Amino acid sequence: MFDVIVVGAGPAGSTIAKELSEKGIDVLLIEKDPKIMEKPCGGGISKKTLDLVGDIPEDIIECEIRGTRIFSGEKVLELSHEKYSGVTVTRKNFDGFLENKAKKAGTKIIRGEMVSKIENKEDEVVCETVSGKRYSAKFLVGADGPTSIVYRYLNKGKRQYAKSSSKEILMSKKKINEIFKNKFNIYTDSIKRGYGWVFPRKNNISIGVGGDMNILETTAAFKEFIKKLEWEFGLILEIDFNKIDNWVLPVYNNKANLASNRIILIGDAAGFIYPISGEGIYCAILSAIKGAKFIDLALKNGKKEILGYEKEIKRVIGKKLSYGLLILRIFKKPVHYAIKYLKNTNITVKLIEKFF
């Protein structure tokens, strides 16, 4: 029997596995994909995320980002370099880097096994995989992303999702620098129920749209967004629209169970994505670090439950997500309207920085 089983080797799962293994805890990390895969993602890693992760190798940095530009019609709002910088990465490299850290810390990793059943027993938690293998541990962490089976085990009912369509498009470094600069570029006006992004990388850009839409609406919004960029910058973006990445982003539910005696949820599995910006990697890593602290405490004190995690994580992350969702429900496009109608740019910047 392991001390802890972690389901899912994304940023959340690999980080909690590493944190626990470094404390001498016996951890098994189970991942369904046989190999580390590219994931639909802008690959934007904010400065506050880098502060949590520590140094990352130069060779996985695609572009060093110096600030964020938010476009709203004719107006452009620049968010500060100090707070709104970071790097871009490919998820294959970034997730691989974090998984390697877990491995070096002593985590046992099994790839190519999909967890399909969970049993929460008196003295252990058991995970069964599609191939029929069974693994048991004192505690279980659900880090299995937006479609989490661990979330479904702890919560009945339908989960809400925002949708996204995105694509990486090859572009010369010169052109990227000329048009998109080394900034996170956010477009708030052209997409009715969401926003669009362009994040620069080494030899390509990540373009996407996301928001409160169904997949058909997202795909249509993506096509419109591409047209707008082509028209505005005189570009010809050769995109095969049959091969765009459509994916889901979980919407946080403050009533959902995020823990139940031997089990906790972290990252996307817990619904931890900022609703206004779509940033999720920061929350994935922060919830992993917090989760590791509470599991360590439970093991040290010989407890059968992971006490305190849910309350703490709802205070640290959940509160901001709930406010963000409320603002989104009332104003629909809060960032767009703030830039359009608020004259005092200092107040606008402060408001946006609080919730973006």
Ligand X SMILES: Cc1cc2nc3c(=O)[nH]c(=O)nc-3n(C[C@H](O)[C@H](O)[C@H](O)COP(=O)(O)OP(=O)(O)OC[C@H]3O[C@@H](n4cnc5c(N)ncnc54)[C@H](O)[C@@H]3O)c2cc1C
- The site for ligand X (CB under 6 A) is made up of 7-13, 30-33, 40-44, 114-115, 143-145, 149, 164, 166, 208, 247, 249, 267-269, 273, 278-282, 284
Compare residues 110 and 340 and give the one whose CB is closer to ligand X: 110
CB 75 within 8 A of CB 12: no
Mark 173-201 as b/e (b = at least 16 C-beta within 10 Å): eeebeebbeebbbbbbbbbebbbbbbbbb
Looking at the DSSP assignment, which residues form a beta bridge with residue 6? Answer: 29, 141
Q: Could you tell me the smallest distance in angstroms from the CB atom of residue 300 to ligand X?
A: 26
* C-alpha–C-alpha distance, residues 189 and 191, integer Å: 6
Compare residues 220 and 342 and give the one whose CB is closer to ligand X: 220
Compare residues 52 and 342 and give the one whose CB is closer to ligand X: 52
Q: Could you tell me the smallest distance in angstroms from the CB atom of residue 129 to ligand X?
A: 7
Q: Which of 248, 250, 311, 265 is nearest to 12 (CA)?
A: 265
What number of other Cβ atoms are within 10 A of residue 219's Cβ?
17
Compare residues 3 and 268 and give the one whose CB is closer to ligand X: 268
Q: Could you tell me the smallest distance in angstroms from the CB atom of residue 10 to ligand X?
A: 2
Residue found under tokens 């949708």? 163
* C-alpha–C-alpha distance, residues 1 and 96, integer Å: 26
**Residue 177: in which H helix or E strand, if any?**
helix 173-179
Q: Could you tell me the smallest distance in angstroms from the CB atom of residue 266 to ligand X?
A: 7
Q: Could you tell me the smallest distance in angstroms from the CB atom of residue 137 to ligand X?
A: 14
Compare residues 229 and 269 and give the one whose CB is closer to ligand X: 269
